[in-house]
Amino acid sequence: MSRHVFLIRHGESAWNAIARLQGQADAPLSELGREQAQALTTTLSALGPMPVVSSDLSRALDTGALAGHQDAELDPRWRERGLGVWEGRLEVDVPAAELSAFRHGDHVPEGGETWATFQGRVGAALDELSDRGGSWLVFTHGGCVRAAIAHATGADHRTIAGPANTSLTLIEVGARRRLLAFNWTAPTGGRAAVPRASEPGGAEMPLPGSDPENAAGDGRAATADGEQAGDPAHGA
């Protein structure tokens, strides 16, 4: 019997909204993030009952609670990647060359986690859920989604985009491991939308067809005809 792990990235945080780097700093959800989390209720109710695990950082834990899952089991291994001295700094205050090397290579901020260490702890948490059996719902962070995919599939983490806020990613675990869905977001107003990806560490990455005037605003991705869907993705 197939077993699945549903990974939910938290809603927009107050620091996502202003492009402040978070890592393991405990930034709260923004008002938009709270609305996004509440909007998950209908989608997640369709999945049926299953045990729930959450990062112990409030932006993930509160996303779960607002989505109707107040009694999640806490596991700090599902925390975001530690960014060391960068935590709490605005992206614009970090040297551009260092930020680029972090996002596109293997640069590690002073006091931060290496990718290998980070993926190792997330992978161990994913393996434990697989060993415990059944399907699971996990409220976590963008970096953890990428790390779980890389661990399960063997993909290079640098080839995996950061998922949008409150997006759903589905991994089949057990004897056969594979990625079944990535960065899925519910249609807004019954219309399909292009999910907005995010850069590792936090910057929004506009997709073709998105509204350039909105790129620094609420981060909503555009549908094929230019309508807006709500999926900001500053930070992790």
Q: Which residues belong to the active site?
A: 10, 80
- Give the Cα separation of 184 and 137 in Å (integer): 15
CA 152 to chain centre: 16
CA 201 to chain centre: 11
Token digits for 154?
């063997």
Any idea what DSSP says for residue 111?
T
- Exposed, middle or buried: residue 107 (CB in 10 Å: 0-12, 13-18, 19+)? middle
- Give the Cα separation of 111 and 83 in Å (integer): 7
- Give the Cα separation of 63 and 84 in Å (integer): 24
The torsion angles phi and psi of 91, rounded to 5 degrees, stand at -55, -40
Separation in Å, CA 139 to CA 28, 60, 106, 136, 218 = 14, 5, 26, 10, 22
Nearest to 86 by CA among 162, 171, 24: 24
Nearest to 235 by CA among 1, 18, 7: 18
